[in-house]
Structure 1
Amino acid sequence: MIDLDIVIPVYNSSLNVSSLIERLNSWANETTYKFQVIFVDDCSNDNSIKKIISEPKAFEYKLIQLAKNYGQHTATAVGLSKSSAPYVATIDDDLQHDPFELENLLKMLIHEDIDLVYGVYQKKEHAAFRNFGSSLLKRILRLAGLNYNMVTSFRLMKSKVTKTFKNTSVTSIIFIDEYLTKIAKNQSSCLVNHFSRKEGQSNYSTWKLVKFALKIILFHTAIPLRFITRFGLVMAIVFFMFGFYFTYNKIANNVPLGYSSLIVALFFSTGMILLSLGIIGEYIRKIWISQNKLDQVIILE
């Protein structure tokens, strides 16, 4: 019986696949856990698939090939949907996550009866800009009441946490951890080592990271909508007061309204438009949340 499924999204990793499988083989020969690896190829255009198939393995595996490049989070969700073991892990394909570290995550998950454990890095081996961007994004998300401080792509969870991906067909996903953290009742983190990439460069360019951060803010938070709504409300109130002031001057002191009144009316109407757009946007966001099943009721047991 398989104790653990390890989901590994793969994209253009032909330089790292051999070393990754070799490390997995080493862990398979030492650990008491029987595991299966689910490789999800995200439409690689190198020899990743051939390397996965040809390398000798001391463990069972599945290979899933996606028709086009959907991104790491969607590929991970597809892998989770195909898992069947009581415990499911996710690691990267570049050996920055050592499979041997899963022993510590498994001990914490089982002994402390936790639903989801993240491997938090003692020291990140990413570029300084990427570390800064990640820290800044997490600070922005905290403003929206979302705490993703311990979220990494090194995860271990009970099978019930993956249930939302098994009930229906998987659609394109921007940020998988919003789904996981909503389902997992008990969450924790475990310190792990983060290693330098063995070969090649990261598939995440600076521009891709910026786009990914913007998508999270736009699609997985209400920060832009709330800003528009509140800014519009403030503008409407301020320029309504200005309008009241000019009207009072006209009545009390017979001051001609002129150009100032036109500007006040313009900004007041702009504020009302922004307020209305913010309210409409909130309703559209609720529709988007419903379509992406972020509001569904999950029955765990």
Structure 2
Amino acid sequence: MSSCHYSIVTSAYQTAAFLEELLERIDLTMQQVEGDYEVICVDDRSLDNSWEVLKKVQLDKTYPLRLIRLAHNHGQHRALLCGLQAARATKAVVVLDSDLQNPPEEIPRLIEAFQEYHPQVVYGVAKEKRQASWRNLGSRILGRFLLREGALTPYASPYKLLSRKLVDQLITSRFEYVFLDAMISWYTKDVRMVEVIQKERIHGKSSYPLGKLLRMSMQIIINYTALPLRVMTYGGLIVALLCFGLGIYFIINKIFFAVPLGFTATIVIITFGLAIIIFSLGIIGEYIRRLYFAQLGKPSFHIQEISECI
């Protein structure tokens, strides 16, 4: 099949227990949608038997299922970007997680909103998020901050439909750190939202523990906002003003009150100033490192195997 109207893209990592049901439900759902389709599943080098399950489904079923196996574990967003690059859809691409928390049965609602309003993105936003309260709080705080910084589109969620035009822009972009929703915000603000159902996770646990979420948040802030540079600018200004004020204070004490300059005060000022300088150099070093890796032109992912439907 050279092209189709819609592509459904998902990534698999340690989700072997979900895959067969997920793909079956996608097929049943897309049979109700006007236009042909394909399903692309990218195995992000799972440690379980996800790839074997996918191969078995592809052999046993008759719907258009295309499989890609990455050579290394590159992360969910790089795996999804790989799927977007492989998508043959002429109208739109639907992206969803493979853990069945976002039911595939909601895909027609995304397509209906796309057909009615013709936006670049349609997000499926959960009426009620079925996850830990600390995750909800963290997501809201980070989301509002990134939205204020212009590094995120409104309603951003893992369940989304992307127009063909936007997909073409995303797959030709050269971001050193791939985070799809932040990348989308660089290209468009033409966004629609539909409410969808989110289910409880029935097998396993999230592949995003607290430590990984914190690291991902820092990567997003560094790669898609200027906050660290602003912290350096304003922090340096505040420290300079404090040091200037302390200097005036000690000079006045020395001239008018003959108070000897204290060794402790001198050490505190020097140590505080050095700490700010070292912190600032660390931030500058991080940006230089990213510029270095960006100019290397390293690919976002490496494909080991592609399995096309017969």
Task: Pick the TM interval, shorter chain.
Answer: 0.7 to 0.9
Q: Matched residue of 2:198: which SS?
A: coil
Alpha-carbon separation, structure 1, partners of 2:212 and 2:9: 23
Residue correspondence of structure 1 range 1-301 to structure 2 within 5 A: 2-55=4-57, 56-85=60-89, 86-142=91-147, 144-148=149-153, 150-167=155-172, 173-259=177-263, 262-263=266-267, 265-266=269-270, 269-270=273-274, 273=277, 277=281, 280=284, 284=288, 287=291, 291=295
Q: Which residue in the other structure is 1:296 paired with?
A: none
Cα distance 1:4–1:222, how it changes in 2: closer, same or farther (>3 A)?
Answer: same
Name the structure 2 match of 1:297: none
Contact 1:236 1:271 in 2 (8 A): no
| Structure-2 separation of matches of 1:206 and 1:261 | 40
Residue type matched to 1:197 in 2?
R
For normalisation by structure 2, the TM-score amounts to 0.81
Structure 1 CA distance for aligned equivalents of residues 276 and 101 of structure 2 = 51
* Offset, 1:136: 2.7
1:27–1:99 Cα contact (<8 Å) kept: yes
RMSD across aligned positions (CA): 3.1
Deviation at 1:37, TM superposition (A): 0.7
In structure 2, C-alpha distance between the alignment counterparts of 1:133 and 1:240, rounded to whole Å: 38
Q: Quick check: 2:177–2:223 contact (8 Å CA) kept in 1?
A: no
Q: After TM superposition, give the deviation of residue 245 of structure 1 in Å.
A: 2.4
Q: Is the 8 A contact 1:84 1:159 kept in 2?
A: no
Per the alignment, residue 308 of structure 2 pairs with none
Give the whole-Å Cα distance in 2 for the aligned partners of 1:272 and 1:13.
Answer: 45
Do the aligned partners of 1:229 and 1:276 also contact (CA within 8 Å) in 2?
no
Q: How many angstroms apart in 1 are the aligned matches of 2:169 and 2:205? A: 33
Measure how far apart 1:47 and its partner are. 2.0
Distance 1:46 1:172 in 2: 28
Question: Partners of 1:279 and 1:208 in 2: how far apart?
Answer: 20
Q: What is the Cα deviation at residue 183 of structure 1?
A: 1.4
Deviation of 1:23 (Å): 0.5
Which string of whole-angstrom CA distances, capped at 9 and with x for unpartnered residues, describes residues 129-167 of structure 1? 322221232244356454455111111011111224443
Paired with 2:293 and 2:71, the residues of 1 have a C-alpha distance of: 26
Identity of aligned residues (%): 34
CA distance in 1, matches of 2:283, 2:134: 36
Highest relative contact order (Cα 8 Å, sep 6+), 1 or 2? Answer: 2
Deviation at 1:187, TM superposition (A): 1.5
1:89 shift after superposition: 1.1
1:222: how far off?
2.9
Q: Tell me the alpha carbon deviations over residues 250-271 of structure 1, each in whole angstroms, 9 at most, x when there is no partner.
A: 3344433343662475267438
2 CA distance for matches of 1:251 and 1:128? 59
Q: Give the whole-Å Cα distance in 2 for the aligned partners of 1:235 and 1:33.
A: 62
One-letter code aligned to 2:30: A
Residue 88 (structure 1) shift:
0.8
Moved more, 84-93 or 228-237: 228-237
In structure 2, the partner of 1:298 is none
Letter in 2 for 1:26: L
1:14 partner amino acid:
A
Give, as a single letter, the amino acid of the residue that structure 2 aligns with 1:48. Answer: S
121-130 vs 222-231, which moves further: 222-231
More off after superposition, 179-188 vs 216-225: 216-225
* Paired residues of 1:141 and 1:147 also in contact (CA < 8 A): yes
- The amino acid that maps onto 1:203 is S
CA shift in 2, pair 1:48/1:157, >3 Å: same
| Residues matched between the structures, number | 292
Shift of residue 120, structure 1, vs aligned partner: 0.7
User: Counterparts of 1:211 and 1:276 in 2: how far apart (Å)?
Assistant: 19
CA distance in 1: counterparts of 2:182 and 2:293, whole angstroms: 11
TM-score by length of 1: 0.83
